[in-house]
Amino acid sequence: MSTVSAQRVHLQTWRLVAVYVVVVLLFLALGARLVTLQVFQAEDWMASAVENYTRVISVPAPRGIIYDRNGYVLARNIASYNIVITPAYLPDDPGDVQRIYRELAALTGVPVNKGTVEDAKRIAPCVPGPGISQLVELGASLAPYSPVKIACDVSEEVARIARERAMDWPGVSVEIEPIRDYPTGSLTAAIVGFLGPIPASLEEEYRALGFIPGRDKVGYAGVEASLQDILAGRNGERVVEVDVAGKEIRNLKPPVPPVPGNNVKLTIDTRLQMAAEGALVGEIESWNAYFGRIRISSGVVIAMNPKTGEILAMVSYPTYENNRMARFIPAYYYEQLSQDPRHPLLNNAISGEYPPGSVFKLSTATGALNEGVITLDKIVETPGQLILTEKFSPNDPGRERPFVDWIYDKRPEGFGRLDFLHCIAYSSNVCFYKLGGGYKDEIPEGLGILRLGEYARALGYGAPSGIELLGEADGLIPSPRWKRITQGENWSTGDTYIASVGQGYVLATPLQVLMSGATIANDGKLMQPTIVHEILDSEGHVIQPFRPRLKWDITVTPLIKEFDCEGGFCLETGKKKIVQPWVVQKIQEGMRLAVTDPQGTLHKAFQGFPIAVAGKTGTAEYCDDVALAANRCQFGQWPTHSWTLAYAPYEDPEIIVLAFAYNGGEGASVAAPIVARVIEAYFELKTIDIAQSTGQTP
């Protein structure tokens, strides 16, 4: 036997065992892995496989239409035409592809080559920048069967030509996409608002609701934002099978159709809105031309039915063109609006806070008469200037401080002796100083800041109204506690004097001022201001009719805290009280006297007016950032805002109108003519509507 044979016979056993063990372990590991994948992880891998060939496609829901009260369209969806290219359907010949690109470039104005593919990744669809080649190359690398937008919102003529050339341009097609259109544009932009992309911070929230970031848009302002849930509807869904290139093969589930958003009919009358804007802008431009400079920079007009709370017109000037936001929000335009000190993006009717001036005297008058601070037959001395010993505490010896009436420059002697109704009609500051803070033995105990605050809040000041618009400010009704916290000093008697005429720390939105007048006009009933008249489904059926809602009635509902006041200091008793109905009636008479009395603040504006009107003017000193920057905050020469509110008919009010002009000056000269023209327009439109409904010629 040879040596080699002997070695084969005597092979070591442990080596064979080791080989067998390794082989067995490998098969066991392989078997365990197969069991894990095919048994324990079968569902996960099956789901992954299904996910690879399954695509869920969201079908956008049509957004609801917004109408005015007469059915005029304020916001709608219109067709926008996009030129798209599906990379997978382009010709195989590169020369034909380049020919298509060149012809498309000549038609749409989009260059064939511009930038890089990386640039195309960074820029959102429909935003000018990359060339056609770069956009298609990016789309082909991601999903060759998905259309790539080359040119967006092209004209119908361009879309028609693209469709006609479909045979010569394989892969090129026209995509129809709905975009928002606002027929009334800037006229109603502050009310209607506009849409924008879903903010990154809210993506998860909107995804949970079925929205698609980057495609779907949401409300950014106006009722487009505040009624987002009503207008948006619910997206539909298609579940389809796709191949490895993303090409659709078949539906895997029955499609879920989208649910259109509900339509909204607003309380606004577009015709009155146009008249209000024309009156405001016309008055502003007239005065600016008179002064030879931009003196009045902004303003507000609001018209409301005091019995129902329906806002008939709401103008915030300057405004913006919301149609420019329809496709995307231009950065340069948004930056321009954001940096404008007049804040055109804000609806200043609800967001602007200003000193209300003499229109606030309705609160002081209501409280003083209701609390017995003054009686109807009490005669008040109203010199042109009042000297007050201002005190910050009971033991403070005080210092003398002059408080002048608004007529002081024209009549230094003031108005003389006035009764309560003429204090309202003539808007005497000195009279209301005394009613608010008291004066010596003539009016020993004034209303006081705490009681004044209660009556102001009862008329609608100091809190948001709850109207269906976002961004409403709450204004400010100051108190001694507020001043100690924010200003670091005690309340003074002079502070009460100033607050009694709507100055000092008192701030209000134009809507709050309107509400105070509407409460008086409506016999003490404060209706909930509303911008929404009806909500309709996509078929036009009313699903939420209009129902006026009473917030409170100051003659019935105990709202006003009761105080025991002595020595100028008041303590709350824990009880509440109402305003006596006769008090409201007398405030109305004072407002009517402002129109009928030859010295009344509204006599000139409504002289010869065929309908009985009552109202109140206001001229409010202010010192804000704009005035400070212009060095206009000089003691005794502060700039002034212009206010006026009026309602008609006096016996049975249908409309109340407020006008505000920033830096407008005297309310009777600037704001009052605006109010008069809007009220006149309202009754002219009413006459036209009645004539048309009866078939007569107006």
Cα–Cα distance, 698 to 44 (Å, whole number): 76
Predicted confidence (pLDDT) per residue in 647-688, tens digit:
999 999 999 999 999 999 999 999 999 999 999 999 999 999
Q: Does some domain include residue 152?
A: yes
pLDDT given at position 423: 97
Question: Is 48 within a domain?
Answer: no
Share of the chain above pLDDT 90, in %: 60
Longest distance between any two alpha carbons in the chain, whole Å: 150
Residue 71 pLDDT > 90: yes
In a domain, 50, yes or no: no
Say which residue, 425 or 45, is predicted with more confidence.
425
Name the band, by pLDDT with cuts 50, 70 and 90, for residue 406.
very high
Q: Looking at residue 45, what is its pLDDT?
A: 60
User: Domain count of the chain?
Assistant: 3
CB 355 within 8 A of CB 663: no
| Residue 584 clears pLDDT 90, i.e. is over it | yes
Q: Residue range 640-645: average pLDDT?
A: 96
Take residue 96 and report the two structure tokens written for it.
């034909």
Q: Is residue 246 part of a domain?
A: yes
The per-residue pLDDT for 567 is: 57
Q: Higher-confidence residue: 13 or 11?
A: 13
- Counting other chains too, the contacts that 594-598 makes at CB distance below 8 Å and 24 or more residues apart are 594/424, 594/425, 594/426, 594/427, 595/646, 597/422, 597/425, 597/426
What CATH number has the domain bearing residue 151? 3.90.1310.10
Q: Would residue 49 count as lying in a domain?
A: no
**Range with lowest mean pLDDT among 34-48, 250-264, 313-327, 424-438:** 34-48
Q: Is 697 part of any domain?
A: no
Assess contact for 230 and 64: CB atoms under 8 A.
yes
What pLDDT, on a 0 to 100 scale, did the predictor assign at position 442? 94
- CA-only gyration radius of the chain, Å: 36
Tell me whether residue 45 is in a domain. no
- Higher local confidence (pLDDT), 237 or 310: 310
State yes or no: pLDDT of 566 exceeds 70: no
- The token pair at 537 is 């489904």
Residue 33's Cα: distance from chain center in Å?
A: 61
Q: Is the pLDDT of residue 11 over 60?
A: no
Cα–Cα distance for residue pair 578/558, rounded to 1 Å: 5
Least confident of 75-84, 268-277, 607-616: 75-84
Per-residue pLDDT, 637: 79
**Strand 66-67 to strand 263-266: parallel, antiparallel, or no bridges (unpaired)?**
parallel
DSSP H/E element including 657: strand 655-661
Q: In this predicted model, what pLDDT tens digit does every residue of 191-212 receive, in sequence order?
A: 999 999 999 899 999 999 889 8
Q: Are residues 297 and 202 in the same domain?
A: no
Q: Are 208 and 282 part of one and the same domain?
A: no
Calculate the CA dihedral of residues 501, 506, 511, 516 and round it to 10 degrees: -40
Question: Are the C-beta atoms of 297 and 337 separated by less than 8 Å?
Answer: no
Does residue 10 have a pLDDT over 60? Answer: no
Q: Can you give the pLDDT at residue 130? A: 85
Q: Are residues 145 and 279 in the same domain?
A: no
**pLDDT higher than threshold 80 for residue 222:** yes
Q: Which of 236, 263, 290 is the last residue of a domain?
A: 263
pLDDT of residue 4: 47
**Whether residues 547 and 478 fall in one domain:** yes
Do 389 and 424 lie in one domain? The reply is yes
Do 196 and 95 lie in one domain? The reply is yes
- What's the pLDDT at 238? 82
Nearest to 429 by CA among 399, 408, 413, 444: 408
Tokens 């009862």 belong to residue: 458
Considering the domain boundaries, does residue 28 fall inside one?
Answer: yes
The predicted pLDDT at position 686 comes to 95
* pLDDT higher at 88 or 652: 652
One domain, residues 363 and 311: yes
Of 149-153, 250-254, 380-384, 611-615, the least confident: 250-254
Q: Do residues 284 and 221 both lie within one domain?
A: no
3-state SS assignment for residue 433:
helix
Amino acid 569: pLDDT: 65
pTM for the full predicted model: 0.88
Rounded average pLDDT over 544-571: 87
Strand partners, 151: 83
Tell whether the model's pLDDT for residue 689 goes beyond 50. yes
pLDDT in tens, 592-604: 999 999 999 999 9
For residue 287, what is the domain's CATH number? 3.40.710.10
The three-state secondary structure class of 232 is: helix
Same domain, 208 and 284: no
> Which residue is it, tokens 């065929």?
610
Domain that holds residue 173: 56-263
Q: Kindly state whether residues 179 and 33 are assigned to the same domain.
A: no
Residues 253 and 286 occupy one common structural domain: no
